[in-house]
Amino acid sequence: MSQATPSSETAQGYSPPSVTQFSVFLDNRVGKLLELLEQFEGNPQCSICAISVQEASDYAVVRLIPNSTRIARELLKRQNLPYAETSILIVELINNHTMSQLCLYLLGAELNIKFAYPLMYRPNGTPTIAISVDDLTLAGQILKRKEFRLLGEGDLPRF
């Protein structure tokens, strides 16, 4: 009986390019989102490339993808804002790749997409989406094999 040999990507500890998403918890009060955004707009070294807001009655969760994790972390700490960090994938939909194909390939591996939202600033002017999945490494391997382009923080636009 022959034993399956792991692919070179797995054997070498493949880690897909990923970015850090900040989930910032804000009181659901008028002007709080503006205050948060002004902190980033006032800093030329760190821009928000994607944003998603989920509102509840007492609070809001603002998901941000900055082009500089280190500076974003400093800005949030300076404002004493509670936040969580999560690694997510940024996928460019190029070469006739579609969202349906992306979902199909991940479904084939029984991977769940927890959430997804588009980037405002697209590095190459092409449709680009941020996704959170159950297993970042496996999803990255699958999408890479299917010739999707995955982006890391260094690929995000600088202004």
**Could you report the per-residue pLDDT of 36-57, keeping only the tens digit for each?**
999 999 888 999 999 999 988 8
pLDDT of residue 128: 93
Q: What's the CA gap between 121 and 50, in Å, rounded?
A: 7
pLDDT of residue 5: 42
Q: Name the residue with higher pLDDT: 126 or 14.
A: 126
Q: Inter-axis angle of helices 69-78 and 32-41, to 10 degrees? A: 130
Structure tokens at 103: 């979902």
Residue 88 backbone dihedrals phi, psi, to 5 degrees:
-135, 165
Q: What's the CA gap between 101 and 108, in Å, rounded?
A: 10
Q: What's the CA gap between 108 and 42, in Å, rounded?
A: 44
pLDDT of residue 138: 96
Domain chopping of the chain, boundaries = 14-18+87-155, 20-86
40 residue type, one letter: F
Q: Name the residue with higher pLDDT: 3 or 85.
A: 85
pTM above 0.95, yes or no: no
Residue 126, pLDDT above cutoff 80: yes
Q: How confident is the model at residue 9 (pLDDT cuts 50, 70, 90)?
A: very low
Fold match between domain 14-18+87-155 and domain 20-86: yes
Q: Could you tell me which CATH number the domain at 14-18+87-155 has?
A: 3.30.2130.10
pLDDT of residue 1: 42
- pLDDT tens for residues 61-117? 999 999 999 999 999 999 999 999 999 999 999 888 999 999 999 999 999 999 999
Q: Does domain 20-86 have CATH number 3.30.2130.10?
A: yes
